[in-house]
């Protein structure tokens, strides 16, 4: 069932992308293939595959939809997204501490250990990467403290 | 008299030093819009070690990598997200300007940033295998004129990239439509050279720095370097295109820009540091080690140069049918 | 004889106390970096490059450090592949296929120690190959032009046919998705932007690091979430830590064969460890036939890709040292390191900088011994990694994945993209699409299209170039043989089946 839904969505996506790919035109090209043929070929093949799955999905049972599981997955994705988006704004240390805390809780950690592990991750990894390995990481809000 | 003079000198140098110390921005950073090890990385490293060795920058300068679109990603990030960072300088090259001119840098144009300094230049080069029938640029152009399909050009650039432009200029000199050439796009100069040494393409169009090692090994012949005059030093033996009667020159300048909202004070601090750096003899040696030739422009001079360059590139792109 | 003298000279350089110390440090750091999910040899070498330069190490020492890190990462990459089912880089994808099932069967210790020995055998054989063939192979590698590369890609994809298994349509779809993902970004022939949706951040396409971290680390985190909920225990290492003599004998020839194949593939510029590990895995699977339990915890399925990817890592030093052409992303970074020291890798390097070249080669031998010694006793320590509770492990994986992506690109866009790909990868995994096919498609896709179009630009559109040279013809022949094999085996099986039926 899920495979069918996915195949249907993918079929639509292929159609949309094919429309987009139709517009790939170079002013000129030295090879006879050009920038358009290869993506269109791939999309066509994928559409065939999706159609196949739509009409003849492999006979696997459909597991029951588990609301609690899905809820946690969504929460986890949201936490990851928030982490990514706040990475530069809040800076590495603060955003990591928050994300470490949130993920720790999601993965059944207790409150205080999660707080501590998050904070430690932020500070220690910042030290490791920024000072030892010379990978510059964003300071974010902490930049204000500096000046 | 003498002591007084030296005292004044000492005092003024102290003042200068302290004013520099006061104005030096926190957390200096150089954005290299490429992966580690690429040309932009070398540009950043050049500034990094140059500024440090000359004592012009106290805090260590970090190098951040931001690859994508010959600088497009970094350009957009600097303009949109890091516009006011006083400690951040970003490397650029002629290749970035070329893409900028063709509208491949998104919605920003060449006026969106503050052009800080150009620190050196490389030149384009046209080379063939040592056993190739072409002895000079004349031979090559004659062959292209006779039958554009008889010569396969290879270069590490897409259509519209720098190395392609060099090929197109050759075609123009031969009176041939660049679209009639046979041209193969590789990833970078190294791949192109290997393909040429393997006999898969006949001519390599690239930066000079990318082919000189093979020149030392005696495997290739450089038909022309695309500079206005002969180069100094050991590369003096390579003829320019100009002296062979073709008005083709293709400098590949390397330099830095800063965000649009950096204050005049900070910008001028960096400008004066680069001015002293570019006048420094040790820096000249450092630059030579990295296969770059002297070129010094800062501030308004560079801005004017960049704007003119972008206009020229736009004209060329239009002429070669790259923009409709 | 001359080679031997040079090699002795190299050992002289490599056994200087500083260089030995640096090799030890590099091997350790490399193993740790390779162990971290999402961080591979490219990250390791790239991270230490500025450090080596900042410390003012002489060129041969810096190169020894980087080579030790490179080797260490190849050793370390297998650990996360086996224990967490998260390949550190594309080359380790094949290691997960049998390594993870072994770990789940409680044989994590055996898997780890055996793969360490496989890595060792692979590296040592390949290093001997470097010594013998480095000067000779230079000529041969140059003969590979775009047409030859294109046919090589076709051959590699034909080899992937063995992965199809019991869900051909899904495998095919996954590979196609990988191929399609690779088309995002600037078209390297005409410069047209494809599928960038107007964003400059996609102008160079989606970087491999992001794809691999997204599809493997992030989706793994989401999968782990479910496991905690249902109360399942993570894989625990128990039983023997060391493989026994019988297991060693079973895999010995696999290691040797795979090492030789991996070395040869590694010497081809651009081909690299991914193809090497995939191809040797497939051919070992074929050779084992029905008796093998490949994909279900066969020791040979673990030994083959490990020996091959280490061998190809060493092999890729050949094009780097002799031609100045990187055979992989990592050697590209190492070429960058050499240029920092104003040493240009190329045909002249062997003559002008014998200390650097032979010191490096000698240090490969030494580094491997160090790594083997380090890895066997530390197996217990590495196996214990899994007893770290999820609420510590997951945030750590997350943070390091983020840093891994951020250090390469420094943009938030890529972080968000990574999460997006992770969610997509999670869905695909839930729907039972094999992600390893997707990753391999992604790696091969760009090379395949580019080389086809390059070949056709060279020939002015004539298809003849694709089968015009002896190399292409040989590769086509191999491809046909590879494709014919399953059919042939099916035919034989059916005949045998019929015979059995007739008897009964």
Q: Do C347 and B219 touch (CB under 8 A)?
A: yes
Q: Is the pLDDT of residue B10 over 90?
A: no
Neighbours of chain C (3+ CB pairs under 8 A): A, B
Q: Which residues of chain B are within 8 Å of residue C457 when distances are taken between CB atoms?
A: 152, 182-185
Q: Answer whether residue A128 is part of any domain.
A: yes
> Which site among A24, A25, A27 would you substitute to test the B interface, given the most B Cβ atoms closer than 10 Å to its Cβ?
A27
Within 10 angstroms of residue B19's Cβ, the number of other Cβ atoms is: 12
A33 shares its domain with A85: no
Number of domains chain C is built from: 1
The reported pLDDT for the residue numbered B1 is: 45
CA distance A147 to chain C (A): 23
Percent of chain B whose predicted confidence (pLDDT) is above 90 = 44
Q: Is the pLDDT of residue B192 over 90?
A: no
Higher pLDDT, C494 or B67: B67
B130 shares its domain with B228: yes
Number of domains chain A is built from: 2
B191 shares its domain with B98: no
The tokens describing B280, both together, are 């420094």
The reported pLDDT for the residue numbered C42 is: 64
Radius of gyration of chain B (CA): 21
- List the single residue in B64, B179, B324 with the smallest CB-CB distance to A136: B64
A44 shares its domain with A95: no
The reported pLDDT for the residue numbered C341 is: 65
> Which site among C458, C468, C471 would you substitute to test the B interface, given the most B Cβ atoms closer than 10 Å to its Cβ?
C458
CA distance A30 to chain B (A): 6
Give the B window 99-138 contacts with A, CB below 8 Å: none
Within 10 angstroms of residue C197's Cβ, the number of other Cβ atoms is: 9
CATH code of the domain containing B275: 3.40.190.150
The reported pLDDT for the residue numbered B41 is: 81
Mean pLDDT of B160-183: 90
Q: Closest Cα to residue C142, out of B176, B65, B195?
A: B195
B65 shares its domain with B97: yes
Residues 6+ apart with CB under 8 A from C440: C90, C93, C160, C175, C178, C274, C278
Q: Closest Cα to residue C44, out of C404, C359, C411?
A: C404
Q: Answer whether residue A13 is part of any domain.
A: yes
Higher pLDDT, B89 or C30: B89
The reported pLDDT for the residue numbered C468 is: 84
- List the single residue in A27, A28, A136 with the smallest CB-CB distance to B29: A136
A90-94, B100-104, C342-346 — which is least confidently predicted?
C342-346
Confidence at B274, pLDDT banded by 50, 70, 90: very high
- List the single residue in B62, B63, B183 with the smallest CB-CB distance to A30: B183
Alpha helix positions (H), C85-145: 93-104, 108-142
- List the single residue in B185, B216, B219 with the smallest CB-CB distance to C454: B185
Q: Answer whether residue A61 is part of any domain.
A: no
> Which site among B23, B25, B27 would you substitute to test the A interface, given the most A Cβ atoms closer than 10 Å to its Cβ?
B27
- DSSP 8-state secondary structure symbol assigned to residue B240: B
Q: Answer whether residue B88 is part of any domain.
A: yes
- DSSP 8-state secondary structure symbol assigned to residue B171: H
Q: Answer whether residue C503 is part of any domain.
A: no
B114-118, B224-228, C139-143 — which is least confidently predicted?
C139-143
- List the single residue in B26, B62, B322 with the smallest CB-CB distance to A147: B26
Provide the residue range defining the domain that includes B217: 123-244
The answer to whether B184 faces chain A, any CB pair under 8 Å, is: yes
A110 shares its domain with A82: yes
Q: Do C200 and B105 touch (CB under 8 A)?
A: yes
**Among B221, B244, B267, where does a domain finish?**
B244
Give the 3-state secondary structure of residue C324: coil
Q: Is the pLDDT of residue B240 over 90?
A: yes
Exposed, middle or buried: residue A13 (CB in 10 Å: 0-12, 13-18, 19+)?
A: middle
Q: Closest Cα to residue C418, out of C407, C430, C428, C406?
A: C406
Provide the residue range defining the domain that includes C166: 2-468
B225 forms bridges with which residues in the sheet?
A: B125, B240
The reported pLDDT for the residue numbered B14 is: 45
Q: Answer whether residue C440 is part of any domain.
A: yes
Q: Which residues of chain C are within 8 Å of residue A116 when distances are taken between CB atoms?
A: none
Q: Do A28 and B26 touch (CB under 8 A)?
A: no
Q: Answer whether residue A62 is part of any domain.
A: no
Q: Is the pLDDT of residue B224 over 50?
A: yes
The reported pLDDT for the residue numbered B19 is: 46
B68 shares its domain with B132: no
B199 shares its domain with B224: yes
The reported pLDDT for the residue numbered B33 is: 87
The reported pLDDT for the residue numbered B127 is: 93
Confidence at B261, pLDDT banded by 50, 70, 90: very high
Give the 3-state secondary structure of residue B89: strand
A77 shares its domain with A119: yes
Q: Answer whether residue B324 is part of any domain.
A: no
Q: Answer whether residue C328 is part of any domain.
A: yes
**Among B200, B222, B244, where does a domain finish?**
B244
Q: Answer whether residue B8 is part of any domain.
A: no
Give the 3-state secondary structure of residue C32: helix
B266 shares its domain with B224: no
The reported pLDDT for the residue numbered C193 is: 85
Q: Closest Cα to residue A43, out of C226, B51, C179?
A: C179
Q: Answer whether residue A110 is part of any domain.
A: yes
The reported pLDDT for the residue numbered B31 is: 92
Residues in chain C: 504
Mean pLDDT of A48-66: 76
A74 shares its domain with A42: no
Give the phi and the psi of residue B281 in degrees, each rounded to 5: -75, -35
A90 shares its domain with A27: no
Neighbours of chain B (3+ CB pairs under 8 A): A, C
B68 shares its domain with B139: no
B226 shares its domain with B130: yes
Residues 6+ apart with CB under 8 A from C309: C74, C77, C91, C92, C94, C95, C122, C262, C273, C274, C276, C277
Q: Do C458 and B200 touch (CB under 8 A)?
A: yes
- Separation between Cα atoms, residue C131 and residue C61, nearest integer Å: 19
CA distance A61 to chain C (A): 11
Q: Answer whether residue B106 is part of any domain.
A: yes
Q: Do A60 and C456 touch (CB under 8 A)?
A: no
A48 shares its domain with A80: no
> Which site among B122, B213, B286 would you substitute to test the C interface, given the most C Cβ atoms closer than 10 Å to its Cβ?
B213
Q: Say if residues C73 and C252 touch (Cβ distance below 8 Å).
A: no
Residues 6+ apart with CB under 8 A from B10: none
Q: Answer whether residue A103 is part of any domain.
A: yes
How much is the pTM? 0.76
Q: Do A27 and B159 touch (CB under 8 A)?
A: yes
A40 shares its domain with A73: no
B208 shares its domain with B271: no
The tokens describing B249, both together, are 């020159």
- List the single residue in C224, C396, C432 with the smallest CB-CB distance to A121: C396
Provide the residue range defining the domain that includes A88: 67-146
Q: Answer whether residue B18 is part of any domain.
A: no
- List the single residue in A34, A45, A107 with the smallest CB-CB distance to C391: A107
* Residue ranges of chain C whose pLDDT lies below 50: 229-234, 504
B194 shares its domain with B128: yes
- Separation between Cα atoms, residue C409 and residue B217, nearest integer Å: 36
Give the phi and the psi of residue B274 in degrees, each rounded to 5: -70, -35
B147 shares its domain with B234: yes
Confidence at A33, pLDDT banded by 50, 70, 90: confident
Q: Answer whether residue B32 is part of any domain.
A: yes
B115 shares its domain with B135: no
The tokens describing B208, both together, are 């000079």
Q: Answer whether residue A135 is part of any domain.
A: yes
Number of domains chain B is built from: 2
């Amino acid at each position: 069932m899920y495979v069918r839904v996915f195949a249907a969505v993918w079929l639509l996506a292929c159609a949309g992308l094919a429309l987009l790919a139709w517009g790939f035109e170079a002013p000129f090209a030295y090879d006879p293939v050009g920038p358009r043929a290869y993506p269109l070929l791939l999309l066509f093949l994928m559409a065939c595959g999706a159609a196949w799955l739509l009409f003849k999905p492999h006979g696997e049972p459909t597991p029951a939809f588990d609301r609690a599981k899905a809820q946690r997955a969504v929460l986890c994705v949201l936490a990851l997204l928030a982490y990514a988006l706040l990475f530069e704004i809040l800076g590495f240390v603060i955003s990591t501490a928050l994300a470490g805390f949130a993920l720790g809780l999601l993965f059944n950690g207790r409150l205080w250990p999660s707080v501590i592990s998050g904070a430690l991750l932020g500070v220690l990894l910042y030290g490791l990467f920024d000072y030892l390995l010379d990978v510059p990481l964003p300071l974010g809000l902490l930049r204000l403290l500096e000046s | 008299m003498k002591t007084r003079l030296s005292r004044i000198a000492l005092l003024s140098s102290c003042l200068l030093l302290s004013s520099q110390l006061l104005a030096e921005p926190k957390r200096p950073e150089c954005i290299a819009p490429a992966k580690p090890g690429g040309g932009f990385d070398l540009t950043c490293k050049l500034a990094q070690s140059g500024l440090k060795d000359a004592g012009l920058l106290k805090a260590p300068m970090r190098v951040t990598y931001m690859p994508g679109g010959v600088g497009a990603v970094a350009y957009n990030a600097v303009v949109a997200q890091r516009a006011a960072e006083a400690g951040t300088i970003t490397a650029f090259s002629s290749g970035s300007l070329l893409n900028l001119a063709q509208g491949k840098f998104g919605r920003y144009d060449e006026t969106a940033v503050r052009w800080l300094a150009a620190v050196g230049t490389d030149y384009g080069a046209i080379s063939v295998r040592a056993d190739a029938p072409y002895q000079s640029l004349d031979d090559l152009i004659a062959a292209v004129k006779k039958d554009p399909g008889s010569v396969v050009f290879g270069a590490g650039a897409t259509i519209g990239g720098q190395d392609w432009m060099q090929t197109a200029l050759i075609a123009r000199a031969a009176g041939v439509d660049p679209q009639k050439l046979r041209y193969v796009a590789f990833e970078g100069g190294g791949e192109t050279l290997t393909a040429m040494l393997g006999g898969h393409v006949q001519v390599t169009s690239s930066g000079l720095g990318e082919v000189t090692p093979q020149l030392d090994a005696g495997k290739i012949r450089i038909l022309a370097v695309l500079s206005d005059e002969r180069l100094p030093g050991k590369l003096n033996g390579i003829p320019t295109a100009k002296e062979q009667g073709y008005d083709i020159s293709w400098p590949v300048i390397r330099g830095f820009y800063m965000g649009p909202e950096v204050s005049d004070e900070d910008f001028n601090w960096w400008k004066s540091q680069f001015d002293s750096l570019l006048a420094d003899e040790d820096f000249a040696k450092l630059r030579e080690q990295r296969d770059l030739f002297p070129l010094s422009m800062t501030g308004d001079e560079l801005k004017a140069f960049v704007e003119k360059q972008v206009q020229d590139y736009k004209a060329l792109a239009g002429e070669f049918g790259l923009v409709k | 004889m001359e080679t031997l003298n040079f090699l002795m000279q190299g050992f002289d350089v490599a056994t200087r106390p500083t260089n030995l110390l640096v090799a030890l440090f590099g091997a350790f750091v490399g193993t740790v970096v390779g162990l971290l999910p999402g961080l591979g040899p490219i990250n390791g070498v790239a991270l230490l490059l500025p450090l080596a330069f900042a410390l003012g190490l002489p060129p041969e020492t810096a190169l020894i450090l980087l080579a030790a890190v490179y080797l260490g990462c190849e050793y370390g990459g297998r650990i996360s592949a086996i224990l967490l089912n998260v390949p550190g880089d594309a080359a380790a994808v094949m290691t997960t296929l049998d390594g993870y099932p072994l770990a789940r069967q409680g044989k994590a210790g055996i898997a780890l120690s055996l793969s360490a020995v496989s890595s060792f055998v692979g590296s040592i054989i390949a290093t001997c190959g470097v010594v013998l063939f480095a000067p000779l192979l230079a000529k041969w590698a140059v003969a590979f032009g775009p047409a030859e590369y294109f046919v090589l890609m076709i051959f590699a994809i034909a080899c992937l046919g063995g992965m199809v298994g019991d869900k051909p349509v899904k495998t095919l779809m996954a590979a196609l998705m990988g191929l399609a993902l690779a088309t995002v970004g600037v078209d390297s022939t005409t410069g047209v932007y494809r599928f960038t949706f107007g964003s400059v951040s996609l102008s160079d396409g989606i970087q491999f690091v992001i794809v691999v971290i997204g599809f493997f680390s992030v989706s793994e985190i989401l999968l782990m979430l479910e496991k905690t909920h249902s109360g399942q225990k993570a894989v625990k290492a128990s039983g023997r830590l060391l493989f026994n003599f019988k297991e060693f004998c079973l895999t010995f020839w696999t290691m040797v064969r795979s090492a030789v194949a991996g070395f040869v593939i590694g010497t081809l510029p651009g081909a690299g460890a991914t193809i090497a590990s995939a191809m040797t895995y497939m051919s070992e699977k074929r050779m084992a036939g029905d008796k093998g339990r490949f994909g279900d915890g066969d020791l040979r399925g673990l030994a083959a890709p490990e020996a091959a990817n280490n061998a190809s890592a060493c092999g890729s030093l050949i094009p780097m040292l002799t031609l100045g052409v990187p055979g992989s992303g990592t050697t590209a970074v190492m070429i960058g390191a050499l240029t920092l020291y104003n040493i240009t890798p190329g045909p002249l390097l062997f003559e002008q900088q014998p200390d650097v070249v032979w010191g490096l080669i000698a240090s490969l031998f030494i580094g491997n011994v160090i790594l083997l010694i380090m890895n066997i006793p530390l197996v217990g320590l590495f196996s214990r990694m899994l007893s770290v509770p999820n609420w510590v492990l997951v945030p750590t994986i997350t943070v390091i994945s983020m840093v891994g992506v951020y250090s390469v690109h420094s943009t938030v866009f890529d972080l968000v993209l990574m999460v997006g790909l992770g969610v997509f990868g999670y869905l695909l995994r839930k729907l039972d699409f094999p992600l390893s096919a997707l990753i391999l498609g992604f790696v091969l896709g760009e090379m395949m299209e580019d080389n086809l179009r390059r070949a056709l630009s060279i020939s002015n559109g004539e298809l003849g170039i694709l089968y015009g040279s002896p190399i292409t013809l040989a590769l086509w022949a191999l491809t046909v043989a590879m494709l014919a094999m399953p059919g042939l085996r099916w035919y034989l099986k059916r005949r045998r089946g019929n015979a059995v039926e007739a008897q009964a």
